[in-house]
Structure 1
Amino acid sequence: MVQDILIVDGYNMIGAWPNLRRLADENLLEDARDELISMLADYQGFSGMKVILVFDAHQVPGLGKRYRQSRLDIRYTKEKETADECIERLVYEWLNRRTRIYVATSDNVEQHVIFGKGALRLPARELFIAIEENRKEMRRKIKETEAKPRNSFESKLGDELKMKLERWRRGETP
């Protein structure tokens, strides 16, 4: 079975998606990151893809940081490493016969580089559309589930038996 992996350039998505860009423009970059994490966690849960979110921290001293939040693998690059370099390294590490890797970025140069390494490119706009479609599908499934009777006696009966019981209730002979 092939495992799908999505590697996301975090700040590239924040700059490309209107709702996140608005937060970042209002000096709420942390809120934009949190919203991106929430959106990708939902997407990962619904799509079944493993999602790795990479944030560029190459001008921040240190060894980088890696943690999990909402079952999402989040990475900050190490000192003097750009997000693009980290993404290229991850593609190289993860690529094998049992994985299909998608990289979400709108950086044209990075798209060509990762495509040359064997990964599939996913522009920021396409990922945004896919996430919105997933959200609509989740809402539809939730409504569908809520509309169904929950573990009631009636839900266990077949249509023919329901009709017989209804005729009996009305006093008709079955």
Structure 2
Amino acid sequence: MRDKRDVLLVDGYNMIGGWPNLAALSKTDLEAARDSLLERLADYQAFSGRQVVVVFDAYRVPGLGKSFTQNQVEVHFTKEKETADECIERLCHEFARPRRQIYVATSDMVEQHVIFGQGALRVSARELLIQIEQSEKEVKTKIAERSNSTSRNTIDSKLSPELRKMFERWRRE
């Protein structure tokens, strides 16, 4: 049984084509572009708390249709003769639950109209990239704050002055 978190369905190749750094990378190494996308989406999933599901179009590629999990992100390659849009529409229906919001990341206008009809909300490739970059900045800020913190959690800070003197005396003996 699936959990009750909000769901972000991502049209994988649409994001790769819509994000400048991944579009450039995909021209030389499509697998590296896919892996980079999945890595950033895994970080975003951990930050946002949304369940992320990525769909890659395997249309006209016989024998595919596999699903697996990579870095806790659910990845689907479409079945033979199925487009990513059709798979996303099917997943919208499967993930539909009361009080669960489904977001679909795609810049495909036709797909946007279809998912609106199913009650899902649209996120364009550009909007998702901005959200991910913002979450990455927030994570870096929090890490920097923790590393710059002067209040270290040491045993010494928890000891009373009398105990510190006693331990210091023992150490010197």
When the two structures are superposed, what TM-score results if normalisation uses the length of structure 1?
0.85
Q: 5+ unaligned residues in a row in structure 2: which ranges?
A: 161-173
Instruction: Compute the TM-score of the two structures, normalised by the length of structure 2.
Output: 0.85
Provide closer, same or farther for how the CA distance between residues 13 and 155 of structure 1 changes in structure 2, counting only shifts above 3 A: farther
After TM superposition, the structure 1 = structure 2 runs for residues 20-169 of structure 1, keeping only pairs within 5 Å, are 20-25=22-27, 27-148=28-149, 149-153=151-155
User: Which residue matches 1:171?
Assistant: none
Contact 1:61 1:79 in 2 (8 A): yes
Q: Distance in 2 between the 1:48 and 1:9 partners? A: 19
In structure 1, C-alpha distance between the alignment counterparts of 2:157 and 2:103, rounded to whole Å: 42
Determine helix, strand or coil for the equivalent of 2:138. helix
Alpha carbons 2:104, 2:115 under 8 Å: kept: yes
Assess if the C-alpha contact under 8 Å between 2:11 and 2:56 holds in 1. yes
Over the residues paired in the alignment, what is the CA RMSD in angstroms? 1.9
**Among candidates 4, 7, 10, match of residue 5 of structure 1:** 7
The change in CA–CA distance for 1:92 and 1:151 in structure 2 (over 3 A counts) is: same
How far the C-alpha of 1:96 sits from its partner, in A, is: 1.8
SS in structure 2 opposite 1:125?
Answer: helix
In 2, distance between residues paired with 1:64 and 1:99?
A: 26
Tell me by how many angstroms 1:98 deviates: 3.1
**Structure 1 residues 47, 155: CA separation in 2 closer, same or farther (over 3 Å shift)?**
farther
SS at match of 2:6: strand
Task: Report deviation, 1:145.
Answer: 1.3
Give ranges in structure 1 of 5+ residues lacking alignment: 162-174
Give distance in 2, aligned partners of 1:10 and 1:24: 12
Higher mean C-alpha displacement, 54-63 vs 32-41: 54-63
Matched-pair contact (CA < 8 Å) for 1:3–1:98: no
Amino acid paired to 2:31: E
Q: Deviations over 1:34-56 (max 9, x none)?
A: 10001100000111110000000
